[in-house]
Copies of this chain bind each other. A is one copy, B any other.
């Protein structure tokens, strides 16, 4: 049974050296491309390596050098297209710079994120890119830093952690989107987001674990305040993580007599749920309900009506994070940087003025 699919002992530098009749050190130098080797020896070694089908053991190399040529990435949910695209941005630059990427999913769970951090550190990654699941616990991240492992935060910030971050200006983006809704004549507005909380009702900021969510809500309220809307005109709902949760929240909202006439949704999955809920209660978008969502998902520009979105540069965010990290790995010791990328409000068909019955109050105020 010694066919071509049977395992055989791996061939090492020592084997190659013996076959090429040179010392182990010489063979290692020729194979590793460092130090100085005569052309003659190099020839012999390379020939022998080819003949024996030698494959370097990256692990042994890492142990000896301390560098693994690998960067670890931890995101909340790889199924989320936002992260999928960010990861591709990271991978592309990493590959071009000679780094491998190893990826882990935290499922937006701080404990899983901690475990992954530990594993990556144990595997001696050269650096870490993390989209932290919470802004409240950065101990494991500070820890990585403490061990001398460069770290860059992606999309979300952890206040107090002195590291590079690549993110967007969520507050400004939400403010602009909300402004568009208000400019279209809406005054009863809702903001729906997926962050996990004790109680879906927005009560105090203490519940929020993500800086992105915090900032978007701030932008939402800021725009409302600037337009003179009352707090009571605003519906802020957290906890729309699953279809069931989203429907519960949305149906309650849309069935109320003073239902919102416009919704700002924090991701495209929730926007989908808005369509579903609107259909369930017999509301048409945008005639009865206007909608803007974060994330320029593919379907938003293909379906009817096409949906107005806040487009986030996810690929470039990943790319920027990788760029900063690789600079740090290269020895850059400068002060932590914030790389803030631009979003774009793409106007499509899902926003229109509220119909008379719904807007009556609003009209009275703006004659």
Chain A positions near chain B (C-beta within 8 angstroms): 4-8, 10, 55-60, 62-63, 68, 70, 78-79, 81, 84-85, 87-88, 91, 100-105, 118-119, 121-124, 142, 145-148, 162, 269, 272-273, 275-276, 279, 297-299, 301-304
Contacting A299 at CB < 8 Å: which of B10, B63, B303? B303
Contact B102 A147 (CB under 8 A): no
- Which one of B59, B79, B100, B102 lies within 8 Å of A84 (CB-CB)? B79
Residues of B within 8 A of A70 (CB): 123
Q: Is the CB of B55 within 8 A of A59?
A: no
* A100 to B62 Cα, complex, angstroms: 18
Say yes or no: B91 contacts A84, CB within 8 Å: no
Q: Count copies of this chain in the complex.
A: 2
CA distance A271 to B76 in the complex (A): 28
Q: Which residue of B lies closest to A121 (CB)?
A: B55
Are A88 and B79 in touch, CB under 8 angstroms? yes
Cross-interface CB contact of A5 among B85, B162, B273, cutoff 8 Å = B162
Sample of 22 A–B contacts (CB below 8 Å): A4-B146, A5-B145, A5-B146, A6-B148, A7-B147, A55-B118, A55-B122, A55-B147, A56-B122, A58-B119, A58-B122, A59-B59, A59-B122, A63-B63, A70-B123, A100-B123, A102-B103, A103-B103, A276-B301, A279-B304, A299-B299, A304-B304
A299's nearest neighbour on chain B, judged by CB, is B299
- Alpha-carbon distance A79/B78, docked complex (angstroms): 8
**In the assembled complex, which residues on chain B have CB atoms less than 8 Å from the CB atom of A299?**
272, 297, 299, 303
Residue contact A57 to B124, C-beta cutoff 8 Å: yes
Closest to A102 in B: B102
Q: What chain B residues lie within 8 Å of A4 (beta carbons)? A: 142, 146
Within the complex, which residue of B78, B145, B272 is in contact with A78, where a contact is CB–CB below 8 Å?
A: B78
Contact B272 A302 (CB under 8 A): yes
A85 and B81 within 8 A (CB): no
Chain B residues in 8 Å Cβ range of A55: 118, 121-122, 147
Q: Assess whether A5 is in contact with B78, with CB atoms less than 8 Å apart.
A: no
In this complex, the member of A121, A279, A301, A304 whose beta carbon has the largest number of chain B beta carbons within 10 angstroms is A304
Query: In the docked arrangement, what's the CA distance between A103 and B276, Å?
Result: 34
Bound CA–CA A78/B122 (angstroms): 25
> Contacts A57-B122, A123-B59 known; A298 to B272 CB distance under 8 Å?
yes
Q: Once the chains are docked, how many angstroms separate the CA of A118 from the CA of B55?
A: 9
What are the 5 closest A-B residue pairs judged by CB atoms, nearest first? A7-B148, A58-B122, A299-B299, A102-B102, A79-B84
CA distance A5 to B59 in the complex (A): 27
Q: How far is the CB of A70 from chain B (nearest CB, A)?
A: 8
How close is A111's CB to chain B, nearest CB, in angstroms? 12
